[in-house]
A = this chain, B = another copy of it.
Amino acid sequence: MNSSFEPYYAVIFTSKKSLNDDGYAVMAQEMETLAQQQEGFIGMDSARNEIGITVSYWKTHESIIAWKQHVDHVMAQKMGIEKWYDSYNVRVCKVEREYSFERK
């Protein structure tokens, strides 16, 4: 644990897709690009098998709120509910500590 660790935020988005894939890949790519341009964005990790998990990292809680309310993102969320997702869960989290390993 590092005493100088600066907490930041993670949004854990887990989802089950519907059978309707129409337009999904293009929109997902657009939203990833747009998220990267937002104030406070740090990074993003994504993987999908039976479920999809996307974790995005943000400097502040305010930056998460702003991104959720971005007009293009609101439209994408609406289409997600109408077409692409059978279910999803969003968890807003404060990252309190972290550690990592990298093979030399």
Q: Residues on A close to B: CB < 8 A? A: 10, 12, 14, 18, 45-53, 55, 81, 85-103
CA distance A103 to B80 in the complex (A): 11
**Nearest chain B CB to A15 CB, angstrom units:** 9
Contact A47 B48 (CB under 8 A): yes
Partner of A14, one of B45, B87, B91, B99: B45
CA distance A81 to B97 in the complex (A): 20
Interchain Cβ contacts under 8 Å between A and B, 18 examples: A10-B10, A10-B93, A12-B12, A12-B95, A47-B47, A47-B49, A47-B50, A53-B55, A55-B55, A85-B101, A87-B102, A87-B103, A90-B100, A91-B97, A92-B95, A92-B97, A93-B95, A94-B96
CA distance A96 to B52 in the complex (A): 21
- Among A10, A89, A91, the most chain B Cβ lie within 10 Å of the Cβ of A91
Measured between beta carbons, the chain B residues less than 8 angstroms from A93 are: 10, 93-96
